[in-house]
Amino acid sequence: MIILKINSVKVQINTTLAEIKPLSLGKDQKLAIDVLRLDLIHPVISGNKWYKLRFYMEEAIHKGYTEIASFGGAYSNHIVATACACNFHQLKSVGYIRGDKTEPLSHTLQAAADFGMQLIFISRADYKNKTALIKNNQQPNRYWIPEGGYGILGAKGAASILNTVSLEKYTHIIAAVGSGTMLAGLLNGSRADQTIIGISSQKNNKSLESEVLHLTLSENQHRLILMHHYHFGGFAKHPSELIHFMVDFWKKESIPTDIVYTGKVFFAISDLLQKQYFKPGHRLLVIHSGGLQGNLSLPEKSLPF
């Protein structure tokens, strides 16, 4: 069903398909854990990706741009979601990709190319200076979206994730963290009595907290907790321990997870429960942020879903 519109341009994303699913985890500790299944709203622009893109897309279309450019790595869900959204809107898209081109392309980049995105590969050294990249590659009809949707508009969209949730039911909201955009939005969109926990997917990202707080209101900042020790070796790293957990979690809860973000989030929650981090009576809302494309890099039959 076609649900959302931007300036009368139809977008085939049904946000009403997102559902709240209770988990069996935590019941023995008198806890309640619900999952907001944002992965269900669309097979490509799933999870938080649409929410972070929506206001950038709205601004680009309103101002008459015909091409959108953004940044990401070989396994960037943001890149493929941007390509897909541009395809919906009949906009050109360009992705500036970190690192050298490899053959074959990752499944993520191949999907982006299939949606019509032009891929331009940038050395890791040059990629660090995105201001210079934008300046040197600016074109009159080109609109730039920051990597991961990071920015005020991205956080504004992420805050709207909570619009259909009965927030008063929850003491904690938990989500994966990449660029920090979604977590900033969750901080801004949540209640003053709620704790927001972010599970970082990156190793040694010491600037992450400041990046999140940069997009949040000062009165919300004390409610943020970032956890940095569930990255399994770094971004997109997936040792056998993580794969085994994801398989077991699927068998118990029938919820698919990915090797980059959500698998690590649910592992973290399971570990925190074993350590009795939460107290009886706490009620947790976990944001399933979608983005399962990273699993396509695994050998066939690695996962049962």
Q: What is the pLDDT of residues 207-228, one digit of tens each?
A: 999 999 999 988 888 999 999 9
The token duo for 213 is 């707080």
SS3 232: coil
DSSP state of 106: P
Q: Can you tell me the distance from the alpha carbon of 179 to that of 121, in angstroms, rounded to the nearest whole number?
A: 20
Burial (CB < 10 A; 0-12, 13-18, 19+), residue 94, is buried
Whole-model pTM: value is: 0.90
- Alpha carbons within 13 angstroms on the beta-carbon side of residue 202 total 11
For the domain made up of 4-48+151-297, give the CATH fold.
Answer: Rossmann fold (3.40.50)
What percent of the chain is modeled with pLDDT above 70? 95
Cis amide bond preceding 104, omega within 30: yes
CATH no. of 49-149: 3.40.50.1100
d(CA 43, CA 142): 27
pLDDT, one tens digit per residue, over 33-66 is: 999 999 998 888 888 999 999 999 999 999 999 9
Pinpoint the residues of the chain covered by CATH 3.40.50.1100: 4-48+151-297, 49-149
